[in-house]
Every structure is written in C-alpha cells, then in structure tokens.
Amino acid sequence: MMRFLAILPLVAVLTSCPSPVTQSLSAAPVSTSKVQLSAAQRTKIANKIWQNESARKVSGLTAWNEGENFPSLGIGHFIWYPKGVQGPFTESFPQFIQFAKQRGLQPPAVALHADCPWTSRAQFNSIFNTSELVGLRKWLASNLTVQADFIIAKSQASLSKMLSAAPAGDRQRVLANYNKLSETTNGTYALIDYVNFKGEGISSKERYNGHGWGLLQVLQGMKSTSGGQASAAEFSRSAKRALDRRIANSPSGRGESRWRAGWHNRCDTYAQPF
C-alpha cells in the first residue's frame, strides 16, 4: 500500500539499472535519487507489484480488506479514505489520480471525488459488480504503466527523506545499502516495491511500541554484504525481520499474524533475479 505525500515528475528511463547514488550525509536535507529503469523493467515491475497485491486479478484492482476502514485501489493498492476517516497510513489514491491527469489521462468520474464515496466495506461490496466499479477496474487494468510510473516516482523521492530522518550515525549505512541494492534489477524492484508496500518508515504514526517497519528500518536492519545479489537476499531477510517485529508489536485484536505468510512470500521475490 502506498504511504507517501509528494509527487515528483518521473525521470526519463534511459538505462537498465541505476548507478550508485552520491548524497551529502549532513543534517541538511539531501537531494533526491533518480532510479532509472528501462521500459521492459517498468513493465515487469508493474506486473510483479500487481501479482504481489492481488495475484494479477482484475477484481483485485478495487478491494476493501476486512478490518480496514478504506478501500485499496490499483496495482499498488492505493489508499482512499472516506470523508471524515483518518487512518495511520498516508492516503495515495487521490495523488495517483492527480498524477494520471498530469500524464494526460482521463480517469472515470467516480475517481474524481475528493473523498472516497463509499463509507463502509459492506456498501462497497454491495456495488462491486455495478458499472461504476466495473468501469473503474477496467480503466485501472488499461493503465498499468502509469500506475507503475507513479510508484517509481514515489520511490525516487524516498531516499532523501529517509536520509534526512535517519540518525546521523545510520545515514552512511542506509545510503550504502540503498546503492548496493541498486546494482541489480531485482534489488531495484525491492526498493520500489517495499516502499509502496510498507512506506518509507519516517512517519511517527507508523510505529507499534516505537518500532517502524518501513524501508528505512529495513535498510537500517540489513547485515553487511558485498553488494549485488547478496544485498538483495539480505534485504529480503531484513524485511521479514521488520515485518515479524511489526506483528509482535501490533495492537491486540488486529490479528496481523494472518498476513505473515503472504508478507514473507512477497519478501522472497526480492531475492529472485529477473
């Protein structure tokens, strides 16, 4: 699920893999990384994210999970809050719609509401097969690339914010691990997918008992590696550790352990070259 605030223009995709990022590690904000991907890589990443979120089912492009007070839409399960609802996660579907309009697309009318027009999961499910939601799913299924571009643009903005938020003593390690992951296609996919999946890890609201589970925490938690596929495999393991810690610290009654197997399966894809 998407957890971001700023929308950046997508950088031109000219090379197959990004080069290492050089950043100032001072206390001041650092510049934004420009992850570069070929068109073929972007398509593969779009399909992998869609597979991760809803097994590449068109029906999964409009979902309202049990126990949540918002629907999750698109290949990245972008969050959309109903009016008056405030949650711990950053709303992202309206941002995606703005991004799509800037790219010259015309979203369906239902997607142009300022707030989610459905107020409950029961109401949402009752109209699941109406022309309104069927049309929205059809439009989303026809525009996979712009969804991937939105996710990639968000990912490109994450590094500078994470380095600014990280303790000074951790910045060098975070940057080094980020660059090592960027050496491989699946490592680059891991950076893009995880920040879409569980956020940057910089929001104080996204904590259980003081522990976060975002990309920053995964990069901080990585053990030393030589780079390349070794770093991708260690990122996968570190992500599982962060998510297990989230489950252990989650509030009673949320039942987050039911997601462990699926979360671990998703993390396993980060270690798989493609």
Domain boundary among 102, 125, 156: 156
Residue 135 contacts residue 112 (beta carbons within 8 Å): no
| SS3 (DSSP) at 3 | coil
Helix 185-198 / helix 171-181 crossing angle, nearest 10 deg: 120
**DSSP letter string over 211-260?**
B--SHHHHHHHPPP--SHHHHHHHHHHHHHHHHHHHHHHSPTTS-GGGGH
Question: 5-27 pLDDT, tens per residue?
Answer: 333 333 333 233 444 555 544 44
Based on the domain organization, do 9 and 144 belong to the same domain?
Answer: yes
Closest C-alpha to 91, from 220, 193, 2, 180: 2
The two structure tokens encoding residue 186: 């699946």
Q: Where are the alpha helices (DSSP H) in the chain?
A: 39-54, 93-102, 121-126, 131-141, 144-165, 171-181, 185-198, 215-221, 228-249, 260-268
Burial of 203 (0-12, 13-18, 19+ CB in 10 A): middle
Q: Are residues 180 and 212 in the same domain?
A: yes
Distance CA 55, CA 68 (A): 20
Within a domain: 80: yes
Q: What pLDDT shows up at residue 20?
A: 52
Q: Are residues 67 and 136 in the same domain?
A: yes
How far, in Å, are 27, 97, 152, 157 from residue 194 at the CA level? 25, 21, 11, 14
For the chain, the domain total comes to 2
Q: Which of 10, 12, 14, 18 is nearest to 184 (CA)?
A: 18
Q: Which residues contact 212 (CB under 8 A, 6 or more apart)?
A: 201, 202, 203, 206, 242
Neighbours of 106 (CB within 10 A): 10
Same domain, 134 and 269: no
pTM as predicted: 0.71
Low-confidence ranges of the chain (pLDDT < 70): 1-36
pLDDT digits (tens, 9 = 90+) for 222-231: 999 999 999 9
Output the CA–CA distances (angstroms, integers) from residue 233 to 93, 170, 185, 237, in the order listed: 31, 21, 13, 6
Q: What pLDDT is recorded for position 45?
A: 85
115 DSSP β-pair partners? none
Q: Which domain holds residue 51?
A: 1-16+34-156
pLDDT given for residue 43 in this prediction: 84
In terms of domains, do 180 and 127 share one? no
> How much is the pLDDT for 33?
43
- How confident is the model at residue 15, as a pLDDT? 33
Q: Which two tokens stand for residue 245?
A: 């810690």
Residue where one domain finishes, among candidates 115, 138, 156: 156
